[in-house]
């Protein structure tokens, strides 16, 4: 089998070019001041004015730079060379306090050279691209200042069990929950640019709630909040309905599913 990480990096390099010009990301609107941080993220992370913030798996940096707009001194990390290059271009245009590092997520501490942060942040569609959450959590613990805060908002691992292309009101189960094997997918376009014509193979990993929470606890972090939500920041099933608050929910008559979760954790003082 080909190297999953190398294949994913190649895909995200292609996606970065397609995404920066997509309607989904609306880069023109972002440059004009559009907010990209939602209410769950804002409430979970809190006030970042004057604080240092590390954004893991930052893609091409819109959300990273949004935290800079909120007053943080930010560092974004991503393994995509094109994503980081675009993020740096946006930083120059906006003249914000931000820098970006291109590296494998597991090599982050080496590139930080001892720098630590008040806040570490990641969200939405990030950790499914990582094969080893134990190493991920160790990076987080190693990059937080004493008493520093980690926050993640993600789609709920329960959603991985369903056929996400179904039009059925009650989504049928399709995948096992406890599947620890690498999952191989044939991509055609992307979530943000479905008509881009990009065809490639991607690899992802399903992570249970057990694994997510215990990876953080095992790295020495203290969980201070774990929340589940009946809505999601993006559309998972074709039948979902977007609310006035920008979040997507199951339609009337459908099961009340847990669609998203957030975790806040702190490093020991």
What average pLDDT does the chain have? 97
Q: Are 119 and 140 spatial neighbours (Cβ–Cβ below 8 Å)?
A: no
C-alpha dist (Å) from residue 260 to 100, 127, 143, 172: 28, 13, 25, 19
pLDDT at 1: 67
Q: Are 133 and 152 spatial neighbours (Cβ–Cβ below 8 Å)?
A: no
pLDDT at 192: 92
CA pair distance 158, 176, nearest whole angstrom: 10
CA pair distance 115, 53, nearest whole angstrom: 11
Average pLDDT over residues 33-52: 97
Q: 10 CB contacts (<8 Å, ≥6 apart)?
A: 200
Here the CATH number for the domain that contains residue 52 is 3.40.50.150
CA pair distance 192, 107, nearest whole angstrom: 28
Q: Residue 103: pLDDT above 90?
A: yes
Q: 132 CB contacts (<8 Å, ≥6 apart)?
A: 106
Taken in order 80, 190, 37, 118, the sign of the CA dihedral is negative
Q: 160 CB contacts (<8 Å, ≥6 apart)?
A: 128, 175, 177, 206
Average pLDDT over residues 6-11: 97
Helix (H) or strand (E) holding 146: strand 144-155
User: pLDDT tens digit string along 132-186?
Assistant: 999 999 999 999 999 999 999 999 999 999 999 999 999 999 999 999 999 999 9
Domain count, the chain: 1
Q: Residue 185 sits in which domain range?
A: 4-266
User: pLDDT tens digit string along 206-246?
Assistant: 999 999 999 999 999 999 999 999 999 999 999 999 999 99
pTM of structure: 0.97
pLDDT at 150: 98
Strands (E) located in 156-258: 183-188, 199-204, 222-229, 231-232, 241-242, 248-249
User: pLDDT tens digit string along 17-40?
Assistant: 999 999 999 999 999 999 999 999
CA pair distance 245, 231, nearest whole angstrom: 10
CA pair distance 160, 158, nearest whole angstrom: 5
Q: What percent of the chain has pLDDT over 70?
A: 100
Q: What percent of the chain has pLDDT over 90?
A: 99
Average pLDDT over residues 91-113: 97
């Amino acid at each position: 089998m080909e190297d999953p990480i190398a294949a994913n990096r190649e895909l995200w390099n292609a996606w970065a070019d397609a995404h920066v010009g997509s309607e989904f990301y609306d880069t023109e609107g972002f440059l004009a001041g559009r907010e990209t941080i939602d209410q769950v993220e804002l409430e979970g992370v809190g006030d970042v004015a004057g604080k240092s913030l590390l954004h893991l798996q930052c893609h091409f940096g819109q959300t990273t730079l949004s935290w800079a707009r909120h007053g943080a001194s930010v560092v974004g990390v991503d393994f995509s060379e094109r994503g980081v290059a675009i993020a740096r271009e946006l930083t120059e245009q906006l003249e914000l306090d931000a820098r970006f590092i291109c590296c494998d997520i597991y090599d982050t501490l080496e590139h930080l050279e001892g720098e630590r942060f008040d806040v570490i942040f990641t969200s939405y569609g990030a950790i499914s691209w990582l094969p080893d959450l134990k190493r991920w959590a160790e990076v987080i613990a190693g990059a937080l200042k004493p008493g520093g805060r980690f926050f993640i908002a993600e789609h709920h691992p329960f959603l991985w069990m369903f056929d996400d292309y179904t039009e059925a009101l009650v989504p049928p189960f399709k995948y096992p929950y406890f599947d620890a094997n690498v999952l191989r997918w044939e991509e055609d376009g992307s979530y943000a640019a479905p008509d881009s014509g990009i065809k490639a193979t991607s690899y992802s990993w399903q992570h249970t709630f057990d694994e997510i929470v215990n990876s953080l606890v095992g790295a020495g972090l203290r969980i201070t909040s774990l929340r589940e939500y009946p809505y999601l920041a993006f559309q998972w099933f074709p039948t979902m309905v977007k609310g006035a608050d920008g979040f997507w929910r199951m339609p009337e008559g459908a099961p009340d599913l847990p669609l998203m979760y957030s975790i806040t954790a702190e490093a020991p003082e």
